[in-house]
Structure 1
Amino acid sequence: MDELKHLRGLMKEETFKDRGFTNKMRENIMNEIHSKRSRSFTFNKKPILAPFMSFLFVAVCLSLFVYFGGTQLGLIDGNNASAPFYQYEAKDRPKSLSAEFKFLTKAPFEVAEVTTKTSEDSSGKIEWVTLTGEERQTIRLSFQSIDPSEELTLSQDPVEVGGSNGSYYESEGPAKVNRLIWIEGGTIKYEMEYLPGGSDVTLSKKDMIKMAESFR
């Protein structure tokens, strides 16, 4: 700004004498120098903080809504994306399954087929139920009455299922398998195994426990 003021002082009428300037040229130069065009060197200062804070507030609110909404729907579980669970009605319980056993009421897929069989080991009779989905997702369930005095060793990762002791195992790789075993009242042994089949739905330990705790 000081240079511009100095230039204005120098640009007197005599400055243009004998310099080859026409009257029109002198007039234009004098108008430019002595005008208020110095305003072009100022910035249009618009308040940017308020719009930024508004945007930040909306973004935070949206993030919280997505997180808590996903948690309530079972889509977000800590760092894991949990599978959606479908209600499995009591009427779908296999008729061959003994009344002493509970049966699951939540499954991570819509069940397309149910098969049953029985087998036996040193602890006695085992009843098996296999649930299969449209993409070959599979849940294998085993039900067994055991002697309370029998000491069973649960050697995998110890967990708790609705107050009952259990163990959890999860394999790695493309042929992933989740397995959960728990014993209720010292007399009923449940085992549940999940295989994703051709689907991309994998389960976490929390998912498996959630499914086990749905047994009614």
Structure 2
Amino acid sequence: MDELKSLRGLMKEETFKGRGFTNKMRENILDEIHSKQPKSFSLPKKPIFAPIMSVLFFAACFSIFVYFGGTQLGIFGSNASAPLYEASDRPEVLGREFKYITKVPFEVKNVSTKTGDGPTGSRQVITLMGPEKQTIRISFQLLEPGTDTTLSQDPVKVGSSQGSYTESEDALKVSMLTWIEGDAMYDMTYMPARSGVTLSKDEMIKLAESFR
């Protein structure tokens, strides 16, 4: 740009004298020199695509971290409105006087049975376990006539039967439901283990109402 300014200053009338330039040539040269204006200088624009993608990636990673961290700490409940699976393989040790669960909130990988003593006699305990060690443990017991069946926890209805519900207060919530149908008392406990899927009172009642 400095060279062009200097050249303009030199191109006076006397520059062309004795040089063999015609008037027409002189006018064309002067017009060409004086018509050249310096182009405006602008910095190249910074690309904005990469910073935007970086921000979106960070936000996605942070959201995933918060969700899974919160689930492990019990801050967020993973609601078990998950698909219900069939549990129709009734253990042979279970008497015909009892109903048996037909819907569970996980795919059953293992079933174990145990006979023990209950408050009013012997009882059968059946444990169903899922792929992440989530567990449903159900005890089945026949009640003797005249047995006090007062249920002291949160009263609920399982179909037309009386029952009670309670749950633990720690981060990994354990849900417990007891109900009585005729002479049979059922006690069902759900433990989420490392699945992070907890069950609400209504969901426990839904499982109990699947007994057939």
TM-score (norm: length of structure 2): 0.61
Rounded to whole Å, the distance in 2 between the matches of 1:157 and 1:85 is 27
**Separation (CA, whole Å) in 2 of partners of 1:166 and 1:130:** 21
Find the counterpart in structure 2 of residue 191 from structure 1: 187
Task: Choose between structure 1 and 2 for higher RCO, CA contacts under 8 A separated by at least 6 residues.
Answer: 2
**2:90 counterpart of 1:88:** no
1:106 to partner: Cα distance: 0.5
In the alignment, the residues of structure 1 paired with residue 142 and residue 156 of structure 2 have an alpha-carbon distance, to the nearest angstrom, of 20
Shift of 1:112: 0.4
CA distance in 2, matches of 1:83, 1:182: 22
SS where residue 205 of structure 2 aligns?
A: helix
Task: Report % sequence identity.
Answer: 53
1:208 to 2:200 alignment:
no
Larger radius of gyration: 2
Q: Counterpart of 1:110? A: 107
Structure 2 counterpart of 1:35 = none
Distance 1:85 1:98 in 2: 29
Matches within 5 A, 1:35-74: none
1:174 CA displacement = 2.2
Structure 2 runs not aligned, ≥5 long: 1-77
Q: Please point out which of 99, 109, 118 is paired with 1:121.
A: 118
SS of structure 1 residue aligned to 2:210 = coil
CA contact (8 A) 2:80 2:105 kept: no
Residue 21 of structure 1 aligns with which residue?
none
Q: Which residue of 2 aligns with 1:150?
A: 147
Query: Over the residues paired in the alignment, what is the CA RMSD in angstroms?
Result: 1.7
The residue number in structure 2 matching 1:162 is 159
Whole-Å separation in 1 of the counterparts to 2:173 and 2:87: 27
TM-score (norm 1): 0.60
The match for 2:98 is 101
**Using a 3 Å threshold, how does the CA distance of structure 1 residues 153 and 201 change in structure 2: closer, same or farther?**
same
Shift of 1:82: 4.1
Question: In the alignment, residue 136 of structure 2 is paired with which amino acid?
Answer: I
SS state at 1:214 partner? coil
Rounded to whole Å, the distance in 1 between the matches of 2:159 and 2:186 is: 13
